[in-house]
Structure 1
Amino acid sequence: MIQLARLPRLVATDLDGTVVRSDESVSPRTMAALKRLAASGVILVGATGRGPRLLDLCRNDVPSADFLVMAQGAFVFECRYDDTVVELADRSVDGRILHEALRLIEAEVGPLRAIAEPADPDRALTGDPMPDWPWTAVRLETAPRDVAFTGPMVKGYFVSDSFTGPELLVAAQDVVDPGLVTVTESGVGMLEVCPVGVTKAAGIQVVLDKFGIDWSDVLVFGDATNDLSMIKAAGHSVAMPNGHPWVQAAASEIAPAGNNDDGVAQYVEELLELL
């Protein structure tokens, strides 16, 4: 039995590892549950680390979402009415700042592989060779770092052959000034280095401000450490049983099943019985 006693005004859900299954699909059951939730009048937000180049993929995964918070919170899109998408927030960071953060982290942990994601959609993601890159829909190019890390950037991706993503996150937090960049990781072994102040909670705040909604009226679902900001801010939060221990410890409760077994759908279906 779920521990939430009433419908929230806004529900935000992570995508990968939360509603997206291991085969990169979203089940019909989850699609239907989220559609019913949005139809009930609850504002539905998809919150993801995916960059804006994957906007169409996100819309396909959560077509009922009124808003999409992307790139760890740097971009916010309104998708509420028709096929028109309105950009509400767009944050970037100078590539030289990411390069400096990379230098500091490598001085602490040793060599990393690094990719820069330019804000210009006509520029490819560029940097070191990345053989295990998980997002095949996004094109990569290899280039020297002083070329790759130039101009406005969405974020940087840093990978270690010796440290896990969470371990790299802890090490980076020890040596990188939070006034320089924000560091996080999304459960795929990569440190993501974002503009200052960019978090999923900050992105959701854009939507809350638009409607005058307080965090006490928000329910969130998440699984990875990049979800911690919204897990901690929300009035009620649900961690996936397949999620990181830090997320489970911070959440109000654990979902009845994992992302491969419609855990979010099961929770939402029970929540809708409160109507």
Structure 2
Amino acid sequence: MIGLSKAPRLVATDLDGTLVRSDESVSPRSMSALKRLAASGVILVGATGRGPRLLELCRNDIPSADFLVLGQGAFVYECRYDDSIVEMANRSVDGEILHDTLKLIEAEVGPLRALAEPADNLRHIAGDPWPDWPWPSVVPQAAPREVAFTGPMVKGFFKSDAIDGPELLQIAMELVDLDSVVLTESGVGMLEVCPVGVDKANGIQVVLDKFDIGWEDVLVFGDATNDLSMIHRAGHAVAMANAHPWVKSAADETTVDGNDDDGLAQYIEEVLELLS
């Protein structure tokens, strides 16, 4: 029995670790449940840290989505009509700010691996060698930092071989000027440094404004610390069984099963009963 007290007007779900399984697939059961949800008239939003270069991968993972919030909230796309894509938001940060942030953190914690994701899609994600980069469909290019961190950026990726992602986030929060960048961590062991004002809640807000929907009518699902902004704002927030402890603590309830065992699909199926 789910704890949701009323039918939502908008459902937003994280992708990796929430909808997407550990083998990078989405189950047929999840696909079916989300398709039925969208067909019921509920607005469906996929909200992810993945940048715009992974837009097609996101569309494949959640094809029923009416909107996609990418880059931790920096980019918002409407994708409700067949193959058409309409960009609704686009935020960037100067690469020099990211580079300065990197040097500041490294002075405290020691060497980090670092990559820069340019806002210009014709440029490669570039920087230090990164053998365990988690998205094989986009291959980073090795480049000197002085070259990689130039121009407008979607975000920077920083990783320590000695400190895990959430701990690195906590350390960096005490060091960095949070009026110049936003820091987050998406559950894959790396710190992400984003433009000011960028988080998933602000990305979803673009969609809410379009339809004049309040957060009290929003249901969200997440697993990692980068989901906390939308979990704190939503009328009802659900953490995955595999979620970080901070996320479980902030959410209204937790799924019975995790992302590898259709935890989200099970919950959505009960939401569909509430809608019927």
Structure 1 equivalent of residue 208 of structure 2: 208
1:138 corresponding residue in structure 2: 138
- In structure 1, the residue matched to 2:126 is 126
Q: Name the % identity.
A: 74
Return the offset for 1:23: 0.7
Deviation at 1:79, TM superposition (A): 0.4
Q: What amino acid is the match of 1:37?
A: L
Distance in structure 1 (CA, Å) of the matches to 2:141 and 2:54: 17
1:8-30 CA distance string (max 9 Å, x none): 00000000000100110000000
Question: Match for residue 223 of structure 1?
Answer: 223
Aligned partners of 1:245 and 1:177: how far apart in 2?
Answer: 26
CA offset digits 1:188-220 (Å, max 9, x no partner): 100000000100001000000111000000000
CA shift at 1:115, angstroms? 0.3
TM-score (norm 2): 0.99
In the other structure, the counterpart of 2:43 is 43
Measure how far apart 1:82 and its partner are.
Answer: 1.6
1:85-96 equivalences under 5 Å are: 85-96=85-96
Name the counterpart of 2:52.
52
How much has 1:5 moved relative to structure 2?
2.2
| Secondary structure of the structure 2 residue equivalent to 1:231 | helix
Query: Which residue of the partner structure matches residue 244 of structure 2?
Result: 244
Q: Distance in 2 between matches of 1:217 and 1:195?
A: 27
SS at match of 1:76: strand
- Structure 1 residue 144: deviation in Å? 0.9
Q: Distance in 2 between matches of 1:7 and 1:33?
A: 15
C-alpha deviation, 1:103, in angstroms: 1.1
Paired residues of 1:2 and 1:270 also in contact (CA < 8 A): yes
Contact kept, 8 Å, 1:6 with 1:271, in 2: the verdict is no
**3-state DSSP of counterpart to 1:69:** strand
Output the amino acid matched with 1:66: D
Aligned residues: 275
**AA at the equivalent of 1:244:** H
Cα deviation for residue 6 of structure 1 reads 1.9
Any unmatched runs of 5+ in structure 2? none
Return the letter of the residue paired with 1:187.
G
1:237 Cα offset (Å): 0.3
* Displacement of 1:152: 0.6
Separation of aligned partners in 1, 2:258 and 2:50: 20
**Structure 1 runs (4+) greater than 4 angstroms displaced:** none
Which residue is 1:168 aligned to? 168
1:97-133 per-position Cα deviation (integer Å, ceiling 9, x unaligned):
0001101111121111100001111111110111111
Instruction: Kindly indicate whether the alpha-carbon contact (under 8 Å) linking 1:98 and 1:156 is maintained by their aligned counterparts in 2.
Output: yes
User: What is the TM-score when the length of structure 1 is the normalising length?
Assistant: 0.99
What is the identity, as a one-letter code, of the residue corresponding to 2:165? Answer: G
Q: Which amino acid aligns with 2:109?
A: V
Query: Which residue of structure 2 lines up, in the alignment, with residue 263 of structure 1?
Result: 263
Q: 2:188 corresponds to which letter in structure 1?
A: V
Amino acid at match of 2:224: A
Aligned-residue CA RMSD (Å):
0.6
Output one character per residue of 1:46-66: Cα deviation in whole Å (capped at 9) or x when no partner.
000000000000001000000
Segments of structure 1 that go 5 or more residues without pairing to the other structure are: none
Alpha-carbon distance in structure 2 between the residues aligned to 1:12 and 1:40 = 15
